[in-house]
Amino acid sequence: MSLALERLLEGPVEDVAPGLLGLRLRTELPSGPTEVLITEVEAYAGGRDPASHAYGGQTPRNASMFGRRGTLYVYRSYGIHWCMNIVTGGPGDPSAVLLRAGRALIGADVMARRRGRATNLTDGPGKLTQALGVTGDADGSTVWDGPVRLLQGPEPRGQIIASPRVGISKAVAWPWRFVLVE
Partner DNA sequence: GGCAAGATCCTCT
Partner DNA sequence: GAGGATCTTGCCA
From 56, 90, 154, 158, residue interacting with DNA (rule: CB under 7 A):
56
The smaller minimum CB distance to DNA, of residues 80 and 173, is found at 80
What count of other Cβ atoms lies within 10 Å of the Cβ of residue 66? Answer: 20
For Cα atoms 12, 14, 19, give the angle at the middle one, nearest 5 degrees.
95
59 binds DNA (CB under 7 A): yes
173 binds DNA (CB under 7 A): no
Q: How many residues form the binding site for DNA (CB under 7 A)?
A: 36
The smaller minimum CB distance to DNA, of residues 79 and 92, is found at 79
**Span interacting with DNA, options 7-15, 29-37, 57-65, 139-147, rule CB under 7 A:** 57-65
Pick from 159, 134, 161, 162: which is nearest to 148 by CA?
A: 134
Q: Are residues 23 and 17 in contact, defined by beta-carbon separation less than 8 angstroms?
A: no
Question: Smallest distance, Å, CB 3 to DNA?
Answer: 26
From 2, 77, 152, 163, residue interacting with DNA (rule: CB under 7 A):
77
Pick from 85, 83, 106, 81: which is nearest to 94 by CA?
A: 85
| Count of residues in the chain | 182
What part of residues 111-140 is at the interface with DNA (CB under 7 A)?
115, 117, 120, 124-128
Question: Smallest distance, Å, CB 156 to DNA?
Answer: 28
What is the C-alpha separation between 30 and 35, in angstroms, rounded?
A: 14
102 binds DNA (CB under 7 A): no
Task: Using DSSP, state whether 80 is helix, strand or coil.
Answer: coil
